[in-house]
Amino acid sequence: MTVPALRVSGLSVWIGSGADSIQVVDGVSFDIDPGEATGLVGESGCGKTMTAMAILGLLPSTGVRVSCDHIEINGRDVSRLNTAQRRKVLGRDIAMIFQQPATALDPVFTMGQQISAVYRRHADGNQRRAHEAMLASLESVGFERPEEIAQAYPHELSGGMRQLSMIAMAMVCKPAVIIADEPTTALDSSTRALILHQLQQLQALHGTAMLFISHDLGVVRQSCRNVMVMYCGRLIEKTDCQNLFSHARHPYSAGLLSCIPQLGATRPGRISSIPGQVPALADLPSGCHFAARCNRSEPRCSESTPVLDAQDKKGVACFRPL
Ligand code: SF4
Last residue of a domain, one of 145, 173, 201: 173
Least-confidence region, from 106-120, 240-254, 255-269: 255-269
Q: Which among 245, 208, 207 has a CA at the least distance from the CA of 226?
A: 245
Cα 5 to ligand 1 centroid, rounded to whole Å: 32
Query: Do 169 and 215 fall into the same domain?
Result: no
Global pTM? 0.91
Amino acid identity at 132: E
Q: How many helices (H) and strands (E) does the chain have?
A: 12, 12
* Confidence band of 98 (pLDDT split at 50, 70, 90): confident
What is the predicted pLDDT for the residue at 12?
96
* Confidence band of 172 (pLDDT split at 50, 70, 90): very high
Is residue 66 one of the residues assigned to a domain? yes
What atom in ligand 1 is closest to the CA of residue 301? 2
Q: What are phi and psi of 53, to 5 degrees?
A: -65, -35
Q: What is the pLDDT of residues 282-293, one digit of tens each?
A: 889 899 999 999
Is residue 279 one of the residues assigned to a domain? yes
Q: Which among 167, 238, 210 has a CA at the least distance from the CA of 36?
A: 210
In sequence order, which residues have a C-beta less than 8 Å from that of residue 21 and are 6 or more positions away?
A: 14, 15, 65
Is residue 321 one of the residues assigned to a domain? no
What is the predicted pLDDT for the residue at 19?
78
Q: What is the DSSP string of 285-299?
A: PSS-TTGGG-TT--H
Is residue 322 one of the residues assigned to a domain? no
Query: Do 186 and 253 fall into the same domain?
Result: yes
What is the predicted pLDDT for the residue at 320?
95
Is residue 100 one of the residues assigned to a domain? no
Q: What is the CATH number of the domain that holds 297?
A: 3.40.50.300
Least-confidence region, from 28-37, 142-151, 308-317: 308-317
Q: What is the pLDDT of residues 215-237, one digit of tens each?
A: 888 889 988 999 999 999 999 99
What atom in ligand 1 is closest to the CA of residue 291? 3
Residues 48, 40 contacting (CB under 8 angstroms): yes
Query: Do 122 and 253 fall into the same domain?
Result: no
Residues 199, 230 contacting (CB under 8 angstroms): no
Query: Do 217 and 151 fall into the same domain?
Result: no
Is residue 101 one of the residues assigned to a domain? no
Query: What number is the average pLDDT over the span 238-267?
Result: 84
Last residue of a domain, one of 127, 148, 173: 173
Query: Do 134 and 34 fall into the same domain?
Result: no
Mutation test of ligand 1: which of 253, 298, 320, 322 has the most ligand atoms closer than 8 Å to its C-beta? Answer: 320
Query: Do 62 and 163 fall into the same domain?
Result: no
Residues 232, 307 contacting (CB under 8 angstroms): no
Secondary element (H or E) of residue 13: strand 6-15
Model confidence at 185: pLDDT above 90: no
Query: Do 220 and 111 fall into the same domain?
Result: no
Residue 202's domain comprises: 6-93+175-261+270-316
Query: Do 48 and 193 fall into the same domain?
Result: yes
Last residue of a domain, one of 132, 147, 173: 173
Query: Do 156 and 38 fall into the same domain?
Result: no
Domain count, the chain: 2
* Confidence band of 306 (pLDDT split at 50, 70, 90): very high
Share of the chain above pLDDT 70, in %: 95
Model confidence at 263: pLDDT above 60: no
* Confidence band of 271 (pLDDT split at 50, 70, 90): low
Query: Do 70 and 164 fall into the same domain?
Result: no
Mutation test of ligand 1: which of 290, 303, 308 has the most ligand atoms closer than 8 Å to its C-beta? Answer: 290
Least-confidence region, from 114-128, 155-169, 270-284, 294-308: 270-284
Q: What is the pLDDT of residues 59-78, one digit of tens each?
A: 888 889 999 999 999 999 99
Is residue 1 one of the residues assigned to a domain? no
Query: Do 275 and 199 fall into the same domain?
Result: yes
Question: Between these two residues, 165 and 104, which has the higher pLDDT value?
Answer: 165
Is residue 42 one of the residues assigned to a domain? yes
Residues 95, 211 contacting (CB under 8 angstroms): no
Query: Do 190 and 67 fall into the same domain?
Result: yes
Q: What is the pLDDT of residues 48-63, one digit of tens each?
A: 999 999 999 888 888 8
